[in-house]
Structure 1
Amino acid sequence: MVSKNVSSCAGSATLPFQYVPVEEVERIEKYQLGGYHPIMIGDSLQSRYQVAHKLGYGTYSTTWLCQDSQSAEFVAIKVGTAESSAREVHVLDYLSKCTPLDHPGRAMIPSVQDNFVLHGPNGNHPCYVTAIARCTRLLISQLVLAIDYIHSQGVVHGDLHIGNVFLRLPADFNQLSIEQLYEQFGSPAFEPVVRLDGQLLPSGIPSKVVPPIWLGKASELFTTSESRALLGDLGEAVQPSAEYRYSSHAPLSFLPPEARFEPELGLSFPADIWTLACCIWIKLGQRPLFEDTLATPDDITAEQVDTLGELPRQWQQKWEARHEYYDESGLPNQGRQVSSWGERLENHIQLQRLKALVPVFDSEEKAAAMNMLRLMLCFEPKKRWTAHDILKCEWMEKWALPDYEESRLNDRGGYADSL
């Protein structure tokens, strides 16, 4: 699984800088006891997997593109920090054994090919192996089906955003040698690790780091057979019937409001529905519903209120910064630029589609799509649609799902038969 997730590492905001920062690379300070495992291009993991490139990094892991010496195929290996758990492997294993077998969303859950533990200077690191995939445009129908499948099995994703949705790579990718991989996608760009105090590197710190490889391409260049989605990064997944999760690590612009105002209730299935709506919005028009550039949590809450209306009364009382954005009557403070739901629809979706030379929604489809999204974005979690409700709504049944079914029928690569 590709993960070009560049979210900050847990606790890294409080780590003092000890090394010269490198762009597009994980915080080097996190290579410490309990943190990342030092890996170099060319390393052999388990005497089987040769490291060819980095695929990405996230809060609790780095992910590497490796060639399996037994099968000669490329795989993705996710190497957890020593403080991480094997939760994701357990969740993927559980979902792979669930019924019904014919649920179309099941095919969008990656399977674990191998798992092991690496022992290093920073601790013991859980690792698992999956097929590789590429980051690219999100396929809405497949994503909704995938969420419907995991929810039907009692699993909440917990960290859903566009960076965790991928497309499978074509079969001929495995015909490349490592040298050909570099010729086609670029060789690793090594950056030396340098201490700010000029001292020698301690053990557990790699001598060089490398930004992730980019395996994607423009969305219009994808063929039907290449448009096979995978839902990735279930490391934050939770089963509400058996455990509580009180916080969300989703990006700020995707964060469901209950994670801020009612964390004591724990996250559940409606949290995924909120983040799913944010994913759908950004891929319909290529702009996020809530802009998070240089934004604070209060800025995001204000954007949510501007767009969707007043917060529930019990949340208004908890929002201490409300007076910085609204007067006592609930009107925006003078001088604030406010963008309503309708304005965001026109500027974020219709205008962006025009710029991309993609047909805009006609009045009928626009009304159906916006009705679906509004019912996914209810502030009160209990009032949001379920994934099953979404699959049965007008926009999905009349526009999205028919296109998806047609693509399956036209796919001569056998995707329809594999579901």
Structure 2
Amino acid sequence: MFARRLFHRSPSPRPYLYPSALMSRFAVASQAHYSTLLQPRKFPSGFEAINPSEKVEEEQLPFYNRDNYYPMRIGEVIKDCYQVVAKLGYGTNSTVWLCRDLREQKYWVLKVHVNTLKHNQELEVFGYLPGVSTEHLGKAHIRQLEDSFKLKGPNGKHNVFVMIPLGMSLRTLQEIQKDNLFPQTIVVKSLDQVLSGLDFLHESDVIHTDNLLIAITNDSVLSEVEDDEIRQPSARKQVGDTFTYVSRYMLGGAGLLTICDLGQARIGSEHSGNAMPVPYRAPEVILNMKWGNSVDIWSVGLLAWDLLERESLFRVYDHESEEQNNAFHLATMTALLGPPPSEFLNRSKETSKYWDEDGKWKGPAPLPTGKTLESLANTLTGDDRDRFLDFVRSLLCWLPEERLTAGQTYYHP
């Protein structure tokens, strides 16, 4: 039923677009002739200067190296047409910039990767998805790549993605809600869109494992960001000729929920090794078992809980020791879900560190007492609460194959 509603196989498959071909295709498309270009705006030279000894934004990340990042400047014109008007964010492998297309009055986001990225997983996934022989309503909830090119910097070349700007993250939007909680109706609508997008990815043999943003539908928010940068320039730190800017906080988000940041996505049905943000990590990942797209379903269960309840089910317990953090994490899972079945225990030798052969906890962290899903579910009441707890239990299962699929989850009451 879900498949007929959201998923349709097209009659003829399209080819896999390898990253080089993908970039070539976009390069050809971007060479359309424009007889006139808009004049770049002039940005003021005055700004709040940050002490050079202070670490700013990406400089605070572990293993940060200034030479790896492209030394972007606000006001700079990239590729003769993209004028950078504000910094929107940063990460371990990239910085993100709002730009205005001088060929037409339109805004884009430039995601500029570090020059040391030997394999760009996100580009590979973007190259793979257009070749998937499907038409699926969930595709509208996956961020699209509009253009891609290489930018030469002083210390190497940088892959640059051009994408439609998105609004704030779902988590940021939650922080401005009363009591940091969403109304039940908003959570249901959000999960509908997340599950539709995940069903598209899973049917396409892609596992997401990461993050969500909300798409902006009103470009006036973007022009306000640009105007604000002129009225009150961003604070920045200068070292030599290089500037490190403070990102602008961009509100607005009255649009579709969009699954983005495909840099951690995996192509294929089975994988191994670490994945997912630590608090959202599924037990099979922690215990070095093979894992598949059901890790995304585990994440959906925790996302639903975090949107509705005040206390998260799991967190980072020990920043210094991954082994200790894993022990606390698995102890809490055991308290909330009960002991794992023997079939699960037999899938990894590492389970013997934490449970005996009967599933009794023996790990190096205490088993929490008095902590159950029922005791922590305090927002909903009556039938809504019962259905919500059943929903969470259907997704947070020890055995991955017992978790509902994205399609089945979509139709849970």
When the two structures are superposed, what TM-score results if normalisation uses the length of structure 2?
A: 0.70
Structure 1 residue 365 displacement after superposition:
1.9
Matched, 1:165 2:213: yes
Structure 1 residue 286 displacement after superposition:
5.1
Tell me the SS of whatever aligns to 2:108.
strand
Structure 1 residue 212 displacement after superposition:
2.1
Residues 149 and 120 of structure 1: CA distance in aligned 2, closer, same or farther (over 3 Å): same
Structure 1 residue identity aligned to 2:213: V
Structure 1 residue 389 displacement after superposition:
1.1
Q: Which residue of 2 aligns with 1:92?
A: 126
Structure 1 residue 188 displacement after superposition:
1.6
Tell me the SS of whatever aligns to 1:208.
strand
Checking the alignment, whether the CA contact within 8 Å between 1:377 and 1:384 is kept in structure 2 is yes
Checking the alignment, whether the CA contact within 8 Å between 2:374 and 2:389 is kept in structure 1 is no
Deviations 1:308-339 (A, max 9, x none): 1223423785257649xxx9766998795552
Structure 1 residue 169 displacement after superposition:
4.1
Matched, 1:289 2:313: yes
Counterpart among 284, 295, 314 of residue 271 in structure 1 = 295
Checking the alignment, whether the CA contact within 8 Å between 1:72 and 1:174 is kept in structure 2 is no
CA distance in 1, matches of 2:303, 2:283: 16
Checking the alignment, whether the CA contact within 8 Å between 2:99 and 2:107 is kept in structure 1 is yes
Q: Which residue of 1 aligns with 2:381?
A: 362
CA distance in 2, matches of 1:288, 1:21: 33
Matched, 1:383 2:402: yes
Identical positions, percent: 22
CA distance in 2, matches of 1:126, 1:335: 47
CA distance in 1, matches of 2:57, 2:352: 35
CA distance in 2, matches of 1:297, 1:233: 25
Q: Which residue of 2 aligns with 1:81?
A: 114
Residues 50 and 334 of structure 1: CA distance in aligned 2, closer, same or farther (over 3 Å): closer
Structure 1 residue 107 displacement after superposition:
0.9
Counterpart among 209, 220, 223 of residue 244 in structure 2 = 209
| Equivalence map 1:103-182=2 (5 Å) | 103-137=136-170, 139-157=190-208, 159-161=209-211, 164-176=212-224, 178-180=226-228
Structure 1 residue identity aligned to 2:143: P
Q: Which residue of 2 aligns with 1:257?
A: 283
Checking the alignment, whether the CA contact within 8 Å between 1:274 and 1:377 is kept in structure 2 is yes
Q: Which residue of 2 aligns with 1:344?
A: 376
Residues 55 and 280 of structure 1: CA distance in aligned 2, closer, same or farther (over 3 Å): same
Structure 1 residue 253 displacement after superposition:
0.3
Checking the alignment, whether the CA contact within 8 Å between 1:148 and 1:387 is kept in structure 2 is yes
Residues 328 and 50 of structure 1: CA distance in aligned 2, closer, same or farther (over 3 Å): same
Structure 2 residue identity aligned to 1:305: T
Structure 2 residue identity aligned to 1:269: N
CA distance in 2, matches of 1:172, 1:333: 52
| Equivalence map 1:51-70=2 (5 Å) | 51-70=84-103
Counterpart among 266, 275, 279 of residue 238 in structure 1 = 266
Checking the alignment, whether the CA contact within 8 Å between 1:96 and 1:111 is kept in structure 2 is no
CA distance in 2, matches of 1:140, 1:237: 19
Residues 332 and 26 of structure 1: CA distance in aligned 2, closer, same or farther (over 3 Å): closer
Structure 1 residue identity aligned to 2:74: I
Residues 334 and 50 of structure 1: CA distance in aligned 2, closer, same or farther (over 3 Å): closer
Deviations 1:261-300 (A, max 9, x none): 134x2x4211111112222211123543212265523222
Deviations 1:197-225 (A, max 9, x none): xxxx6xxxx733123221125xxxx6xxx
Residues 293 and 121 of structure 1: CA distance in aligned 2, closer, same or farther (over 3 Å): farther
Deviations 1:130-162 (A, max 9, x none): 0101124372211111101111111111x324x
Structure 1 residue identity aligned to 2:152: H
C-alpha RMSD of matched pairs (Å): 3.1
Tell me the SS of whatever aligns to 1:375.
helix
Q: Gaps spanning 5+ residues in structure 2: where?
A: 1-51, 172-189, 320-324
Q: Gaps spanning 5+ residues in structure 1: where?
A: 1-18, 194-200, 351-360, 395-419
CA distance in 1, matches of 2:293, 2:275: 15
Give the structure with the higher percent strand. Answer: 2
CA distance in 1, matches of 2:303, 2:360: 33
Tell me the SS of whatever aligns to 2:346.
helix
When the two structures are superposed, what TM-score results if normalisation uses the length of structure 1?
A: 0.69
